[in-house]
Amino acid sequence: MNENAIFEFPESIFITDIPIDEIPSIDLYMDQVISLFETNLSSSKRNIEDAILTKTMINNYSKSKLLMSSNKKKYSKNHIILMILIYNLKQILSITDIKKLLNPLVTDYENNTEIFDIQKIYTDFLFMKNKYILSNEVDFNSMTEEIKSLYEDHTEQSFLEKLLYILLTSSLSIRYKRISEFLIDSI
């Protein structure tokens, strides 16, 4: 084995998001949502038998208000985006913390007040994640300034800046966690 090979990681262990253009714009039934997650995120599982998303998880997320209620047992693109964020965040944060973080988005959606654009938030997150986290060019000062510029005219600027910063730093933590798990599994 090449002595530098220990630091070569399969990119698949870092795939924890679904590109926004691969999330259907039509509402999906629970089984379809689970299939979407398995199809797109299964390569990131540590163990083959691990579940990425189950019916029980989705029901629990809805009951505990981590996720907004389904519409006639169907889930929209916004539901799916929040499930992706929950999937990622729960690897690092407690469910209580995730609920506190996502509650303004869920409440906004449930009340139909349209303060937050969940799809824009997710698009911004993916862009910033690719730029700063996946590129291994983490420059917290630049990242912070760019986050501020994204939401400088929004009425909920402070919340959105914190949300995006938490999503990005959690992604960085997940990246390091997966590297550690990969190395442990190779011992």
Q: Collapse the DSSP code of 28 into the 3-class scheme (helix H, G, I; strand E, B; otherwise coil) and give the result.
A: strand
CA distance 44 to 124: 22
DSSP 63-111: HTTSSPPPBTTEE-HHHHHHHHHHHHHTTTS-HHHHHHHHHHHHHHHHH
Model pLDDT, residue 6: 55
Residues 6+ apart with CB under 8 A from 163: 101, 121
pLDDT in tens, the chain (187 residues): 445 555 677 777 788 899 999 999 999 999 999 999 999 999 888 888 999 999 999 999 999 999 999 999 999 999 999 999 999 999 999 999 999 999 999 999 999 999 999 999 999 999 999 998 877 778 899 999 999 999 999 999 999 999 999 999 999 999 999 989 989 998 9
Question: What residues have CB less than 8 Å from 104, skipping those under 6 apart?
Answer: 115, 116, 156, 159
pTM score above 0.85: yes
Q: d(Cα 158, Cα 39) in Å, to the nearest integer? A: 35
The residues, ordered by sequence, that sit 6+ positions from 182 with a Cβ below 8 Å of its Cβ are 9, 10, 13
Spatial CA neighbour of 28 closest among 66, 76, 62: 76
SS3 73: coil
Rounded to 10 degrees, the C-alpha dihedral 34/38/41/43 comes to 160
DSSP 75: E
Identify the pLDDT of residue 62. Answer: 94
Q: DSSP H helical segments within 1-51, as ranges?
A: 30-41
pLDDT at 1: 41
Q: What is the pLDDT of residue 59?
A: 95
Report yes or no: 75 and 35 within 8 Å, Cβ to Cβ.
no
